[in-house]
Amino acid sequence: MKLIKTDPKACDCRTIPVEADEEITEADEKRFFAVVSTDLEPWQVEQVVSPKNVHVRQESLLATHWHPEFVPMEHIRARVDAMFPNRTDELLIPTQHNQLMSWDGYTGVEVDCFSSGFNRKVQLLLHFANERVEDAGVLKSMLAHTFKYRSGQLFEFMHTITRPDGARIERAAKSTGADRELIDFVRINVSKVERLLDKHWTDVPRQSVKNKLLRNWFDAMRKELGDTATDRVQAYLKAVKQLVKEGFDLSFFYRASEVIEEVRGLGGCIVIPHPEQFWPILLRDYDVDGIEVWNPQSQEYTEFLISVVNEQNGRRASGRDKLIFMGDDCHMGEKTKPEDQQDPEKAGREIGYQPAWEDLRIRKKLIVNNISRRSVIKEYKARLAG
């Protein structure tokens, strides 16, 4: 196997294989099962239940946008108990992507849909009291259909790389500086993942069949490739993935209005997450209960969004006010990885950790309108109870 050096000026001068082996090896099989597995080893459980920070002074815990992924709720509960030992009131609702999950009487989901007026994909957080979705056959069928989106996109992602879509590959390579050796190395490895998925399809957990699988595959090679080479590969992969997402057929999704209508019929509640990424959905003035004004990916316009919600509520002649939410957008699966393979930004997200509530400038705007974690918890519980 020939090798090519990465940037010689970088401190990590390990190499990217120029002529990687096309055949699937025993090491490839082992790596594949490691990255698709949803079973936790003892060291992974220990990482999950042992948070690095404890918030002893936080008494109200509001978390309505977080993803358990494949981590058992018992371990998540242990982490939450350790992080917030002195909480006196709380509202926690998991929001797995396109899959209903429950916690202490409440069920939630983050659903992918599209705003037809602006022809773009958006997301909504749906929340229910558990009994509201016991017989929600239509909603469950809608979610089952939408759940296939992420696996379908993974296969298009892989096909773009293994059966080269010249235009996408050229654009991704140009934007990231990927050379022919790196492109071929990625193609060979993605082809292996594709073949291994076909070979072991019946044994692969469906939660693992998503774009993140490719990122995890190459991260598992970090020790042999080195950080510099792995980061170059990941940058190229991310660029290809973004082009695939941009070209995904939006007719696959249900319209946001259809989802909202179904949720209202069940007596559920709706929150718009990370609106900085979905500005058009705010302009449609959908029938929602609240707007997420802050999360780790959307921090720039928090004060502006609070003002917008407050002004809209002030002009409202009738009906319920829109509530202010903040979402931690925690993905628990990230905490099961070896620390040197974690995405630092994602790993830093925690269920219920939303520092914007304590930001002095933001608090000033909240206090004027009598908004706090405690007030939102009380009002939202009342709405969920119907």
Q: What is the largest CA-CA distance in the chain?
A: 72
162 within a domain of the structure (yes/no): yes
Rounded CA-CA distance 129/131 in Å is 6
206 within a domain of the structure (yes/no): yes
Residue-wise DSSP of 170-211: HHHHHHHT--HHHHHHHHHHHHHHHHHHHHTGGGS-GGG-ST
Residue 272 has pLDDT above 80, yes or no: yes
Q: Which residues contact 29 (CB under 8 A, 6 or more apart)?
A: 196
Q: Which residues contact 277 (CB under 8 A, 6 or more apart)?
A: 297, 298
Q: Which pLDDT does position 1 carry in this prediction? A: 43
Q: What is the DSSP letter of 301?
A: T
Average pLDDT over the chain reads 90
Of the candidate ranges 48-52, 174-178, 209-213, the one whose mean pLDDT is the lowest? 209-213
Q: Which pLDDT does position 2 carry in this prediction? A: 45
Question: Residue 15 is inside which H or E element, if any?
Answer: strand 15-17
Residue 269 has pLDDT above 90, yes or no: yes
Output the pTM of the full model.
0.87
Which whole number is the average pLDDT over 45-56?
96
> Which alpha helices (H) appear in the chain, and where do they start and end?
26-36, 42-49, 73-83, 137-162, 166-176, 180-199, 212-219, 222-225, 227-246, 256-266, 279-283, 302-315, 344-347, 360-368, 373-385
Collapse the DSSP code of 18 into the 3-class scheme (helix H, G, I; strand E, B; otherwise coil) and give the result: coil
Residue 318 has pLDDT above 90, yes or no: no
Neighbours of 222 (CB within 10 A): 18
Neighbours of 234 (CB within 10 A): 18
Domain that holds residue 183: 3-35+151-246
Residue 8 has pLDDT above 50, yes or no: no
Residue whose structure tokens are 């559920």: 268
pLDDT in tens, 346-377: 999 999 999 999 999 999 989 988 899 999 99
**Percent of the chain, pLDDT > 90?**
70
When mean pLDDT is compared over 89-93, 160-164, 306-310, the highest value belongs to 89-93
**Percent of the chain, pLDDT > 70?**
92
139 within a domain of the structure (yes/no): no
Split at pLDDT 50, 70, 90, the class of 281 is low
242 within a domain of the structure (yes/no): yes
- Provide the domain count of the chain: 1
111 within a domain of the structure (yes/no): no
Closest by Cα among 259, 299, 249, 307 to 275: 299
Q: Are 321 and 383 in contact (CB under 8 A)?
A: no
Strand spans (E) along 60-156: 60-63, 66-67, 89-92, 101-103, 106-115, 120-129
9 within a domain of the structure (yes/no): yes
Q: Which pLDDT does position 311 carry in this prediction? A: 85
Which whole number is the average pLDDT over 328-353?
93
Which whole number is the average pLDDT over 45-73?
97
